[in-house]
């Protein structure tokens, strides 16, 4: 959608300097931008790249000037650029329709303006909200619910009873509501513990490709409003994830763990069962959090087992010196042995 610089300035509450009628129809990086693309500058290191760009309109921080460009001056250029992109790059929803190859139960409840793609299966008592898109090869199980303005990309699977809020985007290959990994060992074998709970996804959530979110065993797995989950993440049964938390790729969250609000989890983090990450906690990439551990509010941890960042950096510095220290120890032991030999003679 094409906007003018003046319209963008109003939307972003930005100070405009330059041509208010300049047309903006896209966003790009400086090297790839065309005349109608918007770019941003949040570091003086990139000033030359932005100045040389074909883009004529730039989102900048307070007091920044670039000759020959129309400027939108804001407090946080990267945030403003992201908001502008969401406004300019609005993707039109597909027309409301049910593809003839879709299999939709007569007992399902579909809003009149939703879109159902090829080879979708929607089972009994499922509900699909207004303006929601269910793309090709998706499966929506019995009594599952999808709210308004959602988008399920191709091959998403919702097990029976899964519930998804409003404005949720679920990317390809994701499975929501599968059984958790729960067994009890006895009498020489593993007995499956019941996996009969549910899973609830809040509003404004985005879930990446090939992520799995298991239903609760006897209770409910919950993902709060505004949560963003990357690709290839495993969320186990009974996990609770608070609002606006972020989880990066290849992370595993084991059963009955709780993540508070605004928690940040880096890539390949392993969170064992019954852990708690309080509000605002940060776990660095590849951190390992052992069973039952609590990461306190606002604390930053790294390493395996996870420990406060300052302690991790201090210990890591010593680990890097181990070869040098080993040589010194061997040298000291050699001198000690020689001294003992002389004394015995």
**Separation of alpha carbons 96 and 32, rounded Å:** 35
Handedness of CA 78, 79, 80, 84 (dihedral sign): positive
Give yes or no: residues 142 and 236 share one domain: yes
Give yes or no: residues 114 and 153 share one domain: yes
Give yes or no: residues 172 and 297 share one domain: yes
Give yes or no: residues 190 and 67 share one domain: no
Give yes or no: residues 282 and 180 share one domain: yes
Domain membership of residue 338 (yes or no) is no
Please report which helix (H) or strand (E) contains residue 85, including its range. Answer: helix 77-88
Give yes or no: residues 73 and 157 share one domain: no
Give yes or no: residues 81 and 119 share one domain: no
The domain boundary residue, chosen from 63, 88, 113? 88
pLDDT of residue 332: 87
Active site residue 190: no
Give yes or no: residues 131 and 271 share one domain: yes
Give yes or no: residues 177 and 265 share one domain: yes
pLDDT of residue 314: 87
Q: What is the pLDDT along the chain (345 residues), one digit of tens a residue?
A: 899 999 999 999 999 999 999 999 999 999 999 999 999 999 999 999 999 999 999 999 999 999 999 999 999 999 999 999 999 998 777 899 999 999 999 999 999 999 999 999 999 999 999 999 999 999 999 999 999 999 999 999 999 999 999 999 999 999 999 999 999 999 999 999 999 999 999 999 999 999 999 999 999 999 999 999 999 999 999 999 999 999 999 999 999 999 999 999 999 999 999 999 999 999 999 999 999 999 999 999 999 999 998 888 888 888 888 888 888 888 888 876 666 666 665
**Separation of alpha carbons 104 and 128, rounded Å:** 11
Of 99, 153, 237, 274, the catalytic one is 237
Domain membership of residue 27 (yes or no) is yes
**Domain with 164 in it:** 97-309
The domain boundary residue, chosen from 53, 88, 123? 88
CATH of the domain at 16: 3.40.1390.10
Give yes or no: residues 113 and 45 share one domain: no
pLDDT of residue 342: 63
Domain membership of residue 317 (yes or no) is no
Domain membership of residue 328 (yes or no) is no
Domain membership of residue 288 (yes or no) is yes
Domain membership of residue 231 (yes or no) is yes
CATH of the domain at 217: 2.160.10.10
pLDDT of residue 316: 83
State how many domains the chain has: 2
Encode burial over 99-115: b for 16+ CB neighbours within 10 A, e otherwise.
eeebebeeebebeeebb
Give yes or no: residues 38 and 116 share one domain: no
Domain membership of residue 191 (yes or no) is yes
Give yes or no: residues 54 and 118 share one domain: no
């Amino acid at each position: 959608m094409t906007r003018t610089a003046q319209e963008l300035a109003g939307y972003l509450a930005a100070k405009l300097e330059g041509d208010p009628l300049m047309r903006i129809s896209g966003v790009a990086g400086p090297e790839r931008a065309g005349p109608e693309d918007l770019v941003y500058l949040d570091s003086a290191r990139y000033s030359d790249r932005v100045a040389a760009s074909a883009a004529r309109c730039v989102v900048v921080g307070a007091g920044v000037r670039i000759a020959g460009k129309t400027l939108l001056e804001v407090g946080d250029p990267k945030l403003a650029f992201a908001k502008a992109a969401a406004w300019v790059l609005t993707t039109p929803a597909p027309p409301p329709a049910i593809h003839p190859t879709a299999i939709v139960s007569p007992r399902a409840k579909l809003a009149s303006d939703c879109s159902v793609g090829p080879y979708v299966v929607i089972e009994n008592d499922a509900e699909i909200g207004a303006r929601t898109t269910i793309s090709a090869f998706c499966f929506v199980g019995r009594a599952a619910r999808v709210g308004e303005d959602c988008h399920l990309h191709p091959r998403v699977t919702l097990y029976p009873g899964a519930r998804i809020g409003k404005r949720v985007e679920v990317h390809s290959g994701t499975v929501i509501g599968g059984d958790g990994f729960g067994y009890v060992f006895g009498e020489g074998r593993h007995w499956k513990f019941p996996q009969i709970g549910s899973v609830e996804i809040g509003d404004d959530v985005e879930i990446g490709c090939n992520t799995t979110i298991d239903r609760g065993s006897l209770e409910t797995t919950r993902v709060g409003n505004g949560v963003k989950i990357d690709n290839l993440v495993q969320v186990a049964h009974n996990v609770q994830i608070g609002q606006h938390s972020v989880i990066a790729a290849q992370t595993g969250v084991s059963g009955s763990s709780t993540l508070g609000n605004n928690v940040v989890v880096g890539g390949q983090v392993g969170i064992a069962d019954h852990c708690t990450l309080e509000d605002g906690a940060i776990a660095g990439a590849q951190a390992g959090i052992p069973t039952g551990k609590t990461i306190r509010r606002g604390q930053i941890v790294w390493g395996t087992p996870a420990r406060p960042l300052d302690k991790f950096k201090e210990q890591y510095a010593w680990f890097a010196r181990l070869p040098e220290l080993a040589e010194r120890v061997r040298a000291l032991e050699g001198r000690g042995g020689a001294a003992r030999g002389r004394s015995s003679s």
